[in-house]
Amino acid sequence: MAERQPAFLVATEVSAGYSQVPVVRGVSMEVGLGEIVVVIGPNGAGKSTLVKAITGELDLLGGRLQMGGVDISRLREDDRMARGMGYVPQLHDVFPTLTVMENLEMGAFRLNRQETVQRVEAVLETFPALRPLRRRVARTMSGGEQKMLGIARALMPDPKTVILDEPTANLAPQVATHVLRDIVAGLARDGRAVVLIEQRVTLALEVATWGYVLTDGQLRLERSAPELLAMPDLGSLFLGMSTASAGAAPER
């Protein structure tokens, strides 16, 4: 297998679910700083449950989580964020009635005023397209602009780990390509550990370092992203679709 970066976020035999009934069972995965790890699989495979277990929205039913060598398995969601985990959900990733600046400031609620000013400037340097939109109300922005804002808001505390749950959902193909190839790839170039849940399989694998295939709540396969991308039967075996059609997923 391809050589990887040292692990920063590590999930070991993680099980999670609802009402003590596991949906995800015994999943182990890791991501290093500067890596993009993509988790792919059909609808109902347990991807969202896995994300909720990593972020702390769901308690673990088994296994453990470590970030930066520290066991975070029992930490609450907000404590994981305080330790350097950022999360961009598929939905409700911005406050629609607030302006761009107000959204960014909401992402900095743990910081003092001086730190907030510094982080706003740093984030606007990363996302210069947001600078002229500072006073724009989020709900008046395009889908791509809102997703950019959602990611920017998550970066305000300067997290070392960023979890993205289907960041291209409901975006036009051209915008989706920009989000993954430019914005998400940029997070890894900045030295962050990125976990990506994505249905546009081909596009995701083109920007990812490593990939995990999840079906029926269990890990079925892991390979480097180029190796997975080169598998002609990946779609038919695990996703019920071709990787080419997954890369050009229709609007949802």
Per-residue pLDDT of the chain (252 residues; tens, 9 = 90+): 567 899 999 999 999 999 999 999 999 999 999 999 999 998 889 999 999 999 999 999 999 999 999 999 999 999 999 999 999 998 889 999 999 999 999 999 989 999 999 999 999 999 999 999 999 999 999 999 999 999 999 999 999 999 999 999 989 999 999 999 999 999 999 999 999 999 899 999 999 999 999 999 999 999 999 999 999 877 665 554 434 444 443 332
In the prediction, which pLDDT does 2 show?
A: 67
Write the DSSP symbol of residue 251. P
Residue 147 half-sphere exposure, CB side, CA atoms within 13 Å? Answer: 22
Query: Element (H or E) spanning 196, and its range?
Result: strand 193-197
The residues pairing with 31 across neighbouring beta strands, listed in sequence order, are 9
Question: What distance in Å separates the CA atoms of residue 158 and residue 89, rounded to the nearest whole number?
Answer: 17
Specify the 3-state DSSP secondary structure of 56: coil
Domains for the chain: give ranges and CATH numbers.
1-84+159-252 (3.40.50.300), 91-158 (no CATH)
Asked if 28 and 13 touch (Cβ cutoff 8 Å), the reply is yes
In the prediction, which pLDDT does 236 show?
A: 64
Q: What angle do CA 96, 100, 103 make, to 5 degrees?
A: 65
Asked if 246 and 234 touch (Cβ cutoff 8 Å), the reply is no
Question: What distance in Å separates the CA atoms of residue 148 and residue 176, rounded to the nearest whole number?
Answer: 11
Pair of tokens at residue 158: 């300067």
The Cβ of residue 176 has, within 10 Å, a number of other Cβ atoms equal to: 26
In the prediction, which pLDDT does 235 show?
A: 66
Pair of tokens at residue 169: 């959902």
In the prediction, which pLDDT does 232 show?
A: 84
Q: Which of 61, 27, 30 has its CA nearest to residue 46?
A: 27
In the prediction, which pLDDT does 91 show?
A: 86
Asked if 86 and 123 touch (Cβ cutoff 8 Å), the reply is no
The residues pairing with 12 across neighbouring beta strands, listed in sequence order, are 64
**Do the bridges between strand 36-40 and strand 193-197 make them parallel or antiparallel, or are there none, so unpaired?**
parallel
